[in-house]
Structure 1
Amino acid sequence: MDWDGVIRGNRAKRLEIPDVILFEYRLFEDERGFFAELWKRGEYLAAGLPYDFVQVNLSYSRPYVVRGLHHQLKPSEQGKLVTVVRGRVFDVAVDIRRGSPWYGRYVAVELRPGLALWIPPGFAHGFQALEETLFLYLVTKEYDPQRDKCAKWDDPEIGIKWPAPDKAILSQKDRGCPPLAQAENNFEYPL
Structure 2
Amino acid sequence: MNVTETKLKGCFILEPQIYSDSRGYFMETFNLEKFTEKIGYKPNFVQDNLSVSTYGVIRGLHQQLPPFAQSKLVYVLEGKVLDVAVDVRRGSHTFGQFISIELSSENNKQLFIPKGFLHGFSVLSERVIFAYKCEGFYHKESEFGINPLDKTLNIDWKIKKGKEVISEKDKQAISFNELNPVSL
Residue number among 114, 117, 125 corresponding to 1:123 in the alignment: 117
CA distance in 1, matches of 2:109, 2:8: 18
- State yes or no: 1:163 paired with 2:158: yes
- Percent identity of the aligned residues? 34
SS in 1 for 2:165: coil
CA distance in 2, matches of 1:147, 1:56: 18
CA drift at 1:23: 0.7
CA distance in 2, matches of 1:154, 1:183: 15
Give the counterpart letter for 1:135 in structure 2.
F
TM-score (norm. length: structure 1) = 0.89
Asked if the contact 1:70–1:148 (Cα under 8 Å) also holds between the matched residues in 2, the reply is yes
Residue number among 48, 59, 63 corresponding to 2:55 in the alignment: 63
SS in 1 for 2:49: strand
With 140-149 and 32-41 compared, the bigger mean Cα shift is at 32-41
Residue deviations 1:37-58 (CA, integer Å, cap 9, x gap): 1111111112223212000000
Give the counterpart letter for 1:161 in structure 2.
D
CA drift at 1:184: 6.3
Asked if the contact 1:41–1:52 (Cα under 8 Å) also holds between the matched residues in 2, the reply is no
Asked if the contact 2:87–2:117 (Cα under 8 Å) also holds between the matched residues in 1, the reply is yes
Residue deviations 1:99-147 (CA, integer Å, cap 9, x gap): 2111111000000121100000000000000011000000000000000
CA drift at 1:165: 5.5
Asked if the contact 2:32–2:42 (Cα under 8 Å) also holds between the matched residues in 1, the reply is no
CA distance in 2, matches of 1:68, 1:173: 10
SS in 2 for 1:43: helix
Give the counterpart letter for 2:23 in structure 1.
R
The number of aligned residues is 178
Task: Indicate the residue corresponding to 1:3 in structure 2.
Answer: none
Give the counterpart letter for 1:174 in structure 2.
D
CA distance in 2, matches of 1:165, 1:179: 22
Question: Superposed, which structure 2 residues align to 1:65-80 within 5 Å?
Answer: 65-80=57-72
Task: Indicate the residue corresponding to 1:139 in structure 2.
Answer: 134
CA drift at 1:94: 0.2
Give the counterpart letter for 1:173 in structure 2.
K
Task: Indicate the residue corresponding to 2:77 in structure 1.
Answer: 85
TM-score (norm. length: structure 2) = 0.92
Question: Superposed, which structure 2 residues align to 1:28-67 within 5 Å?
Answer: 28-47=19-38, 48-67=40-59
- State yes or no: 1:177 paired with 2:173: yes
CA drift at 1:27: 0.9
SS in 2 for 1:174: helix
- State yes or no: 1:16 paired with 2:12: no
Give the counterpart letter for 1:109 in structure 2.
I
Task: Indicate the residue corresponding to 1:94 in structure 2.
Answer: 86
CA distance in 1, matches of 2:36, 2:117: 20
SS in 2 for 1:46: helix
